[in-house]
Structure 1
Amino acid sequence: MPTCLIQSAATVDDLLAAAAAAAGRIDVVIDRSFALEDAAKAHHYADTAKPLGRVVMTP
């Protein structure tokens, strides 16, 4: 019997992650990357820009 992914998903991200895991793959979309020194800018961007993917900080 197939598992219903919608009932156990709290957010759209949860639903997409569950669907990807069920399909045997995970795709990560990176919207923008910031240097670790720019952590404040990265947080501001994530809070205000409504990114379509993950915001990543790199060392």
Structure 2
Amino acid sequence: MIRLNNDTPVSVLQEVKKGSLVTDTFSKTGLVETIEISDDGLYRVYTFHLVTGRTIIVKR
């Protein structure tokens, strides 16, 4: 299980794939359904959509 939060290294965020088991260490745990990576000019935003319908967002 991979923990995703704002302290997670970029190298770990890059290795997360569809089907990976992830958690935000609070209430969101599940398999990754889709991953979106965007850049808002200040941060690189990783959006992980889980099969449970929840979303984990990490800004790095």
Please state which band the TM-score falls in when normalised by the shorter chain. under 0.3
- Provide TM-score, normalisation by structure 1: 0.24
Structure with the higher helix share, 1 or 2: 1
- Provide TM-score, normalisation by structure 2: 0.24
Larger Rg over CA atoms: 1
Structure with the higher strand share, 1 or 2: 2
